[in-house]
Structure 1
Amino acid sequence: MQLWICPILAFLLGSIPFGLIIARMKGIDIRAHGSGNIGATNVLRIVGKKYGITCLFLDLLKGYIPMVIAINLIQIDGKAIVPHLGFLDSLAMELPASEQFKGQLVHVVTALCAILGHNYSPWVGFKGGKGIATSAGVVLGLMPFAVILLIAVWGLLFLITRYVSVASIGAAAALPVLTHVGARFHKNDAGVSLWEADTWNKPLFFFSVVIAALAIWKHRTNIRRLMDGTEHRFTPKSKA
């Protein structure tokens, strides 16, 4: 049951259009304003800062919560789970190290379903956001340390360019690189790198390539606007 319930739950949670709901509470159809996107960036621009931040946090949770559930329900070789959800212990499936690939594959399929749910929500005609916040949520569940580095990449690119789209595209492109580097430097109990021991998380790497490509594809209109010089650029508000 755990092998299929996790991806389904992830898609359903990911499909909740928080941006649309938050804007509707203010009497605004976010799809008819700004970029027409239901993600946090457009909500921030059109509805306001606190609503955009709320949307960002909720969209991130749509990715993080399914991952925490999946990692607790499908455990590999009895490894410690952080955070540990004790109420799921009776439902947990513990796979031996020999079935590591199966567990890793279910984890990344769950992650991908959460992102696809956000990007192609059935509640809004199979449309949605660009998936950056939800992707950050699933990455936070799968490899927390990478999120710190991705935030640094995003922040640096945003400070340099003042374009949210450039920062998001750059962070997405950096994810497969960080995943590969992590496999090279992360060591097992014997002190051998996971790459050399050939026990590195192959599904996670291919997942990182897929979601990076998906994120960049979802930004294709932004790329066109960047090339045309019409992309919206955040500029500090001048003080009176």
Structure 2
Amino acid sequence: MQLWLCPLIAFLAGSIPFGLLIAKLKGVDIRQHGSGNIGATNVLRVIGKKYGITCLILDALKGFIPVMIAMNLIRIEGKHPALVFDFLNQFALHLSAADQFKGQLVHVLTALAAVLGHNYSPWVGFKGGKGIATSAGVLIGLMPPFGVVLLLIIWLLVFASTRYVSVASITAAVALPVMTHLGARFHHIDNDKSLPTLWEAGTWNKPLFVFTLIIAILAVWKHRSNLRRLREGTENRFEPKKKQSANV
């Protein structure tokens, strides 16, 4: 049951259009303003900083929490989820290290389902956001903390130098599978340099690498309109939201 239930929960959670709901609380249809996107960046630009940050956190959580549920329900020997849900212990499926591929596959399918739910939500006509915040949420659950921090640094450096959210997001997305590959190449088993690397031992997380490739491609595809505007020189640089006018 856990093998199909986890991706289903993830898709349903990912499909919740928090950006649309937050904007509606302010009497605004976010799809009719700014870029028309229901993601956190457009909410921040149109509605305001605190609403954009709230949307960002909620969109990340709808990726992080389903992945944590999956990692608690499908346990791999020697691997521990970043957040332990003790109430799920009685329902957990325990896999040996030899069967880790099956567990890793379900974990990343759950992560992918959350991102797809956000990008193609059935509640908004199978449209949605660009998946960056939700992808960040699932990666916090799937990747070592160092990898997540490095990815955040890449995003911040590109954003600070260009002021384009789209360029920073695309760059971080493209860097992700490269980082995952290099991590497998250079990370030693149990962090012991006397032992083989994960790549040499063949124990690296292959489903995670495929997942990072897929979400990198999805991120570029969902930003295709931004890429077109960048080529045309019409992409808007990010500017802090000024005080909301009375007629918005």
Which TM-score tier does this pair reach, normalised by the shorter chain? over 0.9
CA displacement 1:152-196 (0-9 Å, x = unmatched): 001000111110000000000010011011111222247221001
- 2:17 and 2:123 in contact (8 A); partners too: yes
Deviation at residue 133 of structure 1 after TM alignment:
0.2
User: Structure 2 matches for 1:155-234, cutoff 5 A?
Assistant: 155-189=156-190, 191-234=195-238
- 2:82 and 2:141 in contact (8 A); partners too: no
Residue 116 of structure 1 corresponds to which residue in structure 2? 116
- TM-score, normalization by structure 1: 0.96
User: Structure 2 matches for 1:115-134, cutoff 5 A?
Assistant: 115-134=115-134
Deviation at residue 95 of structure 1 after TM alignment:
0.7
- 1:78 and 1:95 in contact (8 A); partners too: no
**Structure 2 counterpart of 1:17, one-letter code:** P
Residue 145 of structure 1 corresponds to which residue in structure 2? 146
Deviation at residue 237 of structure 1 after TM alignment:
8.4
CA displacement 1:56-84 (0-9 Å, x = unmatched): 00000010000111111101125333311
Residue 75 of structure 1: SS of its match in structure 2?
A: strand
Report the Cα distance in structure 1 between the residues aligned to 2:82 and 2:159, rounded to whole angstroms. 31
- 2:159 and 2:165 in contact (8 A); partners too: yes
Greater displacement, 183-192 / 125-134? 183-192
Report the Cα distance in structure 2 between the residues aligned to 1:26 and 1:85, rounded to whole angstroms. 35
Residue 154 of structure 1 corresponds to which residue in structure 2? 155
**Structure 1 counterpart of 2:76, one-letter code:** I
Residue 99 of structure 2 corresponds to which residue in structure 1? 99
- 1:39 and 1:130 in contact (8 A); partners too: yes
CA displacement 1:185-240 (0-9 Å, x = unmatched): 222247221001011111110110000000110000000000000001024689xx
**Aligned Cα root-mean-square deviation (Å):** 1.4
Residue 40 of structure 2 corresponds to which residue in structure 1? 40
Matched residues, percent identical?
70
Unaligned runs of 5+ in 2: 243-248
Deviation at residue 3 of structure 1 after TM alignment:
0.3
Alpha carbons of structure 1 residues 95 and 161: separation in structure 2 relative to 1, 3 Å: same
Unaligned runs of 5+ in 1: none
Report the Cα distance in structure 1 between the residues aligned to 2:11 and 2:73, rounded to whole angstroms. 16
Residue 195 of structure 1: SS of its match in structure 2?
A: helix
CA displacement 1:88-136 (0-9 Å, x = unmatched): 1000001111211111110110000000000000000000000000000
CA displacement 1:32-65 (0-9 Å, x = unmatched): 0010000000000000011000000000001000
**Alignment coverage as a number of residue pairs:** 238
